[in-house]
């Protein structure tokens, strides 16, 4: 099997290269994301490996199908960036990594909350300048607060366990509740009304697109803190910004952003950011943004690499994979 590996970062190559070599998969690595203009790089390859911000649309699928590509291997859990139904119709199988480390993402969500709440990032900068003033660093106890968890898959349930360890009251919403889990499920409207903190851990679908919008922001508890380590487009960013400016939203912890594709994973320092909404969110004193790094642990990367390679081998040898997107 010959594989075209797109949007390669140094940590990708470090982890993937030995695993792919051991599996006998000949791999060519490209820094660029897959797009209509760069599909030629997949010529004579059996498969392509892509990440969350690669836009695998119909034109891309048509082109790589002509080049003989039979597999699109996502090295992530989400697959909203791939027109998988069209790919299937063109005879291309789509595989993903449904679970790599729920602990990595859940722990990062809590780290964001703790950092924003206790102003760790501001204290760090101050003490580097030997400024030991405590003014403006007041936070609040997590103990006793109500956290609303939207999405109770593996990541959501790990986050729930972490929150319970802090002595927080947990209420949750999921379209498909986990039976026998003991989770206190509530209607979504009740989550918005009662939660002091709301954390999103659900996939991006047509149904969940902008599920947190101007209308829902008007119904949340005043001063609520929003956490999103899932997919940026779950939240209407402009509505979130307006809610923050109106003091309805008390803070936002964002590892994802709905228009992140042109900015995240790259060094944008020294450049003018054309996205005014992103620029204003980052400038807010009660907003913390990280660059879609919640997954980035050694354990998660190792699991992503091993599962991706297994997916490729299974498709090549058996024609099927347990992680196919259909």
Residues with Cβ within 8 Å of 22's Cβ and at least 6 positions away in sequence, in order, are: none
The string of pLDDT tens digits covering residues 194-211 is 999 999 999 999 999 999
Q: Where residue 261 falls among pLDDT bands split at 50, 70, 90?
A: confident
As a whole number of angstroms, the distance between CA 234 and CA 42 comes to: 32
Q: Is 231 a catalytic residue?
A: yes
Report the candidate in 142, 147, 6 with the shortest Cα–Cα distance to residue 73: 6
Q: Residues 96, 157, 231, 258: which is the catalytic one? A: 231
* Catalytic position from the list 121, 292, 298, 299: 292
Q: Where are the domains of the chain?
A: 2-100+298-318, 102-289
Asked whether this chain's domains 2-100+298-318 and 102-289 adopt the same fold, the reply is yes
Q: Is 22 helix (H, G, I), strand (E, B) or coil?
A: helix
Distance between CA 130 and CA 238 in Å, rounded? 37
E strand segments, the chain: 2-5, 26-29, 47-50, 71-74, 93-95, 146-150, 169-173, 197-200, 224-228, 249-254, 287-289
| DSSP labels, 94-150 | EE--S-S-HHHHHHHHHHHHHHHHHTHHHHHHHHHTT----TT------TT-EEEEE
Tell me the pLDDT tens digit for each residue of 16-47.
999 999 999 999 999 999 998 899 999 999 99
CATH topology of domain 102-289: Rossmann fold (3.40.50)
Is 292 among the residues known to form the active site?
A: yes
The per-residue pLDDT for range 211-260, each reduced to its tens digit, is 999 999 999 999 999 999 999 999 999 999 999 999 999 999 999 999 99
Sheet containing 249-254, strands listed edge to edge, beginning at the edge strand earlier in sequence: 169-173, 146-150, 197-200, 224-228, 249-254, 287-289
With cut-offs at 50, 70 and 90, classify the pLDDT of residue 168: very high
Q: Is domain 2-100+298-318 in CATH 3.40.50.720, yes or no? A: yes
Tell me what the mean pLDDT of segment 161-189 comes to.
96
Share of the chain above pLDDT 70, in %: 100
Question: Whole-model pTM?
Answer: 0.91
With cut-offs at 50, 70 and 90, classify the pLDDT of residue 303.
very high
DSSP one-letter code for 39:
G
């Amino acid at each position: 099997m010959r594989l075209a590996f797109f949007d390669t970062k140094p940590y990708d190559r470090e982890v993937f290269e030995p695993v792919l070599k051991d599996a006998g998969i000949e791999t060519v690595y490209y820094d660029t994301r897959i797009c209509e203009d760069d599909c030629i790089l997949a010529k004579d390859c059996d498969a392509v490996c892509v990440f969350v911000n690669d836009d695998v649309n119909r034109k891309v699928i048509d082109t790589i199908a002509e080049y003989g590509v039979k597999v699109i291997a996502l090295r992530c859990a989400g697959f909203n960036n791939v027109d998988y139904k069209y790919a299937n119709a063109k005879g291309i199988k789509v595989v993903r990594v449904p679970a790599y480390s729920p602990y990595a993402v859940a722990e990062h969500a809590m780290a964001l909350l703790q950092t924003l709440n206790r102003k760790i990032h501001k204290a760090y900068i101050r003490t580097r300048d030997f400024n030991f003033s405590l003014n403006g660093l007041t936070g609040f106890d997590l103990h006793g607060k109500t956290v609303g968890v939207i999405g109770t898959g593996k990541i959501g349930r790990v986050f729930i366990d972490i929150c319970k360890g802090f002595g927080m009251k947990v209420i949750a919403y999921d379209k498909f509740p986990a039976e026998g889990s003991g989770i206190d499920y509530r209607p979504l409207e009740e989550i918005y009304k009662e939660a002091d903190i709301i954390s999103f851990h659900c996939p991006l679908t047509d149904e969940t697109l902008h599920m947190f919008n101007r209308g829902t922001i008007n119904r949340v508890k005043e001063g609520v803190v929003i956490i999103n380590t899932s997919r940026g487009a779950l939240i209407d960013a402009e509505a979130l910004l307006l809610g923050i400016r109106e003091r309805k939203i008390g803070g936002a912890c964002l590892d994802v952003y709905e228009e992140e594709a042109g900015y995240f994973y790259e060094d944008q320092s020294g450049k003018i950011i054309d996205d005014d909404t992103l620029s204003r969110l980052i400038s807010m004193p009660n907003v913390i943004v990280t660059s879609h790094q919640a997954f980035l642990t050694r354990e998660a990367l190792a699991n992503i690499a091993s599962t991706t390679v297994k997916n490729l081998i299974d498709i090549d040898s058996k024609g099927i994979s347990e992680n196919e997107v259909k």
